Amino acid sequence: MTIKLRDEALLLATHRDWESFNMSGDSYQISKIFGENVFDITIAEGIDDDIRAEIIDISHSGKRLSEQHADVVAKAVTKWSMSRGVTHFCHWFQPMTGSTAEKHDSFLAFDKQGWPIDKLAAKELMQGEPDASSFPNGGARSTFEARGYTTWDISSPMFILEGSLGKTLCIPTAFVTYYGDALDIKTPLLRSISSLKKQMVTLLHLLGKKDVTDVTINLGVEQEYFLVDKSLYFARPDLVMTGRTLFGPLTAKNQQLDDHYFGPVSERVLAYMQELDYELYRLGIPSKTRHNEVAPGQFEIAPIFKDANIANDQNLLLMHVMNKLAVKHNFVVLLHEKPFAGINGSGKHMNWSITDSTGTNLLGPGPEPQSNQNFLLMIAITVKAVERHAEMIRMSVAGAGNDHRLGANEAPPSIMSVFLGDTLDKIYKAILDGREFKSDESVLLDFKAEQLVQLLQDNTDRNRTSPFAFTGNKFEVRAVGSSQSVGFPATILNMAVADIVSEVNDSIKDKLKLGKDIERIKSEVIRELLSSSYHVVFNGDGYSDSWVQEAKKRGLPNNKTTADALDVLTDSSKTKFLMRDQAFSESEIVAKYNVLIERYCTLREIEFHTLSTLVDQYVVPSAVNYKSKLLAILKDEKALNLSAGVEKEIHEKLNLNLRNIAQLRGKLTMGMEKKYKSSAEQALGIANDLMPLSEEIALECNSIESLVADSLWALPKYYDMLFVR
């Protein structure tokens, strides 16, 4: 039966009928459809200008919205959404599962005479009460206290999600306990944005930019992913249960020739990408770039920068739409950080920058970065934030999936360092040495071909081996995992920077009281920041073994596994900065730790159970089946006095593999049954003891798969999943 399943899956995958994406034969213009499924309060009909202005102000100021004005919005959005065929609404929120949640309610209501009407009440818009008992809470609420609240996030636009038989109005919301403790990712993110904004406006005023009234934290989130044919996906229980293959020998040709990276996109995949872009545009998601990634079957999509809160919402919505449309095209999207061993995994590069209300990018160097003191100060602040809070930033990207990717010669190492590039590095070294920086003339690249347009060389290259790289006018955080929400890493980064900005503000105030000139103060503060943090700057190869040793000499932490990384959340001296401006309460930090450590242990336990099942039900039966055929051949050849050396050798290898698997399988089972004193101890036991055991089992399975005749192997192989399109 299992062999037939693989054969049928391959037959389906290789003989699929598929259609290119089209709009009933009509072409479309992106600007005409962009945001058509988004309710934009700034231009929506049915809202008076004075109310509109107040609501926009409230979305930035945190003032309370009156129920009367909420009722105006509710009526306007009801009319708008119903005109598009919407019948239900939901509060769309982000529990600590890392994904999104929604509970649908219809517009059905009754008037005073008992007649049915379509209505979204102001209270329904502003607040919901989903059952919080089954969501991760980390001890933030007792089991018998099931009430949770969702509250409308005015700053994030409402949108329509379309299904095959209906449409739903989604209202972005925060999710909190009965007492107001965060049960989600959005609430701390919004608090961190407010905290950093407050500190940054104060800083800019001290620097003389009195006209600045606000700053915007921007994110651009690049999303990597794999596509696997749906039939092959469901024929691999490990993909279904864990999101990754728990074993499988690599194909002879995979990514060594670099021919898939930026290569031509296959027609079937392109059809998926085209429809994905179309649906994203309608949802107001500014999808900009799409291409083949490094590994076979791997791809990337990247949007244009947005406000951090909206960018986080849109990335989660992007993953939802990706998954939904993939099934329509008979694919399944794999967002796991390492779905296939031995080839590149997937990340989610988080590009972070800050813009003030005058439109100035505070990370923009300008034509003469060496004399742009505000820019140099902002970079120095960020470098110091990474140096001081390196362990917290590493923790924010920790997860079972990312443990397979970080430091695997395809992603940044688990050591947090900052890449600045040649120009900035020279400027800062000059500052530290107390000498004047002399700028090189702009370098015009000579391609030795008159047909090519000449280019000015950028003042910095890119370093894909760095977890935190300056890339010209922004920082690229490359360590975020592909399945993770960027909301949590962004929250930690915002608070880390806010912590340093607050100290800089105090330092500047003290120096101003001494009568110092602001330009002199900037120079002093930049040098002070760099003097204590420059050891975190590294512009070399982050993949090299020598960097690991060098980082150790520099005193940089290297928390290799999630079990190691999460421990920082239990150190109050290192989490204190998170409580600035109440971004987190002490109890919320404890809850977050409990959720993350439990999630890590649970995911690994699911993997171990799945691996054991696959060994028992697929690997061993396939090996035994092949052994029986070999034995029959050995008996026949012995009866004919023929040599059977090859068959005997294969048989002996299989016997050895099966004995090894049985022993390792027994140790894994005993380890899974072990009782631990705490979740932290369990996580360390899993990371240090059980994971190596599971990897040894995987190697034995790989050996068996390589020996067993292809026709007798029960599961789809790497060749099938990576190359069949």
Same structural domain, 113 and 211: no
14 domain residue, yes or no: no
- Least confident residue range of 284-288, 557-561, 642-646, 675-679: 642-646
301 domain residue, yes or no: no
pTM for the full model?
0.93
Calculate what percentage of the chain has a pLDDT beyond 90.
70
The continuous run of DSSP H or E covering 432 comes out as helix 422-433
Same structural domain, 464 and 503: yes
Under DSSP, is residue 74 helix (H, G, I), strand (E, B) or coil? helix
Exposed / middle / buried, residue 618 (Cβ in 10 Å: 0-12, 13-18, 19+): buried
203 token code pair: 């800083």
Name the residue range of residue 107's domain. 34-184
* 1 band by pLDDT with thresholds 50, 70 and 90: very low
Cβ proximity of 587 and 140 under 8 Å: yes
- Least confident residue range of 3-12, 154-163, 441-450: 441-450
Question: Using one digit for the tens of pLDDT, what is the confidence trace for 117-164?
Answer: 888 888 888 888 776 667 767 666 555 556 688 999 999 999 999 988
Same structural domain, 210 and 89: no
Looking at every residue in the chain, the average pLDDT score rounds to 90
Backbone phi, then psi, for 236, in 5-degree steps?
-120, 95
Of 583, 614, 629, the last residue of a domain is 583
613 domain residue, yes or no: no
Instruction: Please report which residue ranges of 438-560 form alpha helices under DSSP H.
Output: 487-513, 518-533, 545-554
Same structural domain, 137 and 194: no
Q: Look up residue 18 and give its amino acid.
A: W
Question: Using one digit for the tens of pLDDT, what is the confidence trace for 224-258?
Answer: 999 999 999 999 999 999 999 999 999 999 988 88
Same structural domain, 171 and 209: no
Per-residue confidence (pLDDT) for residue 258, from 0 to 100: 82
686 domain residue, yes or no: no
| Number of other residues whose CB lies within 10 A of the CB of residue 422 | 12
User: CA distances (Å), 226 to each of 85, 276, 297, 322, 676, in order?
Assistant: 33, 14, 5, 11, 36
Same structural domain, 179 and 62: yes
**Sign of dihedral through CA atoms 706, 708, 709, 711?**
negative
Same structural domain, 423 and 483: yes
Same structural domain, 431 and 555: yes
Of 583, 598, 633, the last residue of a domain is 583
Per-residue confidence (pLDDT) for residue 460, from 0 to 100: 55
700 domain residue, yes or no: no
Answer yes or no: is pLDDT of 711 > 60: yes
Closest by CA position to 195, among listed 592, 507, 501, 571 = 501
- For 109-136, the DSSP string reads EE-TTS-EEE---HHHHHEE--B-TTS-
Instruction: Please state, in angstroms and rounded to a whole number, the distance separating the CA atoms of residues 40 and 155.
Output: 10
Same structural domain, 110 and 200: no
3 domain residue, yes or no: no
Of 583, 604, 632, the last residue of a domain is 583
Same structural domain, 489 and 437: yes
The number of folded domains in the chain is 2
Q: What is the CATH number of the domain that holds 167?
A: 3.10.20.70
Same structural domain, 409 and 556: yes
577 token code pair: 């900065």
Same structural domain, 156 and 218: no
631 domain residue, yes or no: no
- Residues 675-696, mean pLDDT to the nearest whole number: 96
302 domain residue, yes or no: no
Cβ proximity of 138 and 586 under 8 Å: no
